[in-house]
Amino acid sequence: MINNAIRGVLFDLDGTLIDTAPDMALALNRLRLECNLAPLAFDAIRPQVSNGARGLLEISFGLSPGQMGFNALRDRFLQLYRQDIAHQSRLFNGLAPVLLEFAARKLTWGIVTNKPGFLTRQLLKELNITPSVVVAGDDLARRKPAPDQLIYAAGLLRLPLQNLIYVGDHERDIQASLAAHMPAVAVRWGYLDGERPIEDWQAHAIINTPAELLTFIDARYDARHTP
C-alpha cells in the first residue's frame, strides 16, 4: 500500500499526456512517399509512437539503429515531423480538466519523456502547455527505463520521490518509476505496443480515463490520513 500523500504528478509525453500519433504518422508517411513507398495505415503506426523514431523506422523500413541508412532516414523523419509538430497533436480528452484540478489543489506537475529535448520543447511551446518541469530524453546520460530522469525531476521540484507519481503508457515508464521507488500509474488510452499486457507491468494502478488519476491521488491521500 502506498501511504504517502501525492504532492505532484509526472507524465510521460507521447501517448500519455499528448496525442502526438497523427502528426508522427503524417511525417512517417511523407518520408515513405519520398522513398516511393505506399503509406502505412494509421492503426499500424499508432502503437509504435511511444517507441519514437526507432520504432517507427523499424515498422516502416525494417531498419534498426546501427544499420546502414538508419541515421539518414531518422534525421529526415525528424525534420519532416518538426515542420508540422503541432498540426493535430492535442492533450488527450479529459486531461485538461484534470490539470485545472491540479492547479486548484496546488499539485505541481511535469513531464519526463524520452523524446529529444528540441522536439519536446517546441511541441509544448506551440501547444502553450507549461509544466513546472520538463526532463527530455537527451537531458541526461541515461533515459527510461533507467530511473535517472525521474529522480532528477523530483530534485528540480524539491519533492520526495514517494510524494510524486509517474504516469505512462509504456512498460519502460513503469520500470523507471519502480526503479526510482515512485508510485507508478499505467494508462490504457495510450499507444500500447502489445509487447506485454499492461496487467503484467506491475504498476500500482491501471487507469482507463484521466479522471481516474484524481481517484488514485485521493486514495493515496486517504490512506495517509487513516488513523
For the stretch 105-133, what's the b/e string if a residue is b when 16 or more beta carbons lie within 10 angstroms of its beta carbon? Answer: eebbbbbbbbbbeebbeebbeeeebebeb
211 part of a folded domain: yes
- For residue 42, what are the domain limits? 21-83
* 60-to-43, 65, 148, 165, 169 alpha-carbon distances in Å: 13, 14, 31, 34, 22
CB-CB contact of 1 with 219 (8 Å): no
> Which of 12, 19, 23, 169 does the annotation list as catalytic?
12
Q: What angle do CA 102, 103, 109 make, to 5 degrees?
A: 60
**Bridging pattern class, strands 90-91 and 18-19:** antiparallel
Residue 1 lies in a domain: no
Q: Does residue 113 sit in the same domain as residue 184?
A: yes
Report the pLDDT value the prediction gives residue 221, as an integer from 0 to 100: 64
| Burial degree of 79 (CB within 10 A; 0-12, 13-18, 19+) | exposed
In this prediction, residue 5 carries a pLDDT of 87
Last residue of a domain, one of 65, 83, 101: 83
Indicate whether 149 and 171 sit together in one domain.
Answer: yes
pTM of the model: 0.94
**C-alpha span between 169 and 109 (Å, rounded):** 17
The enclosing H or E element of 79 equals helix 70-83
In the numeric block, the cell 517546441 is attached to: 122
* pLDDT tens readout for residues 48-73: 999 999 999 999 999 999 999 999 99
* Cis amide prior to 197 (ω within 30 degrees): no
Asked if residue 207 is part of any domain, the answer here is yes
Tens of pLDDT, residues 102-141: 999 999 999 999 999 999 999 999 999 999 999 999 999 9
173 catalytic, yes or no? no
Residue 96: give its domain's CATH number.
3.40.50.1000
Pair (112, 167) in one structural domain: yes
Interatomic CA distance for residues 5 and 66, integer angstroms: 45
Q: What's the domain count of the chain?
A: 2
- Residues 111 and 218 grouped into a single domain: yes
How many other CB atoms are found less than 10 A from the CB of residue 44? 12
What does the pLDDT look like over 190-209, one tens digit per residue?
Answer: 999 878 999 999 999 999 99
Residue 222 has pLDDT above 60, yes or no: no
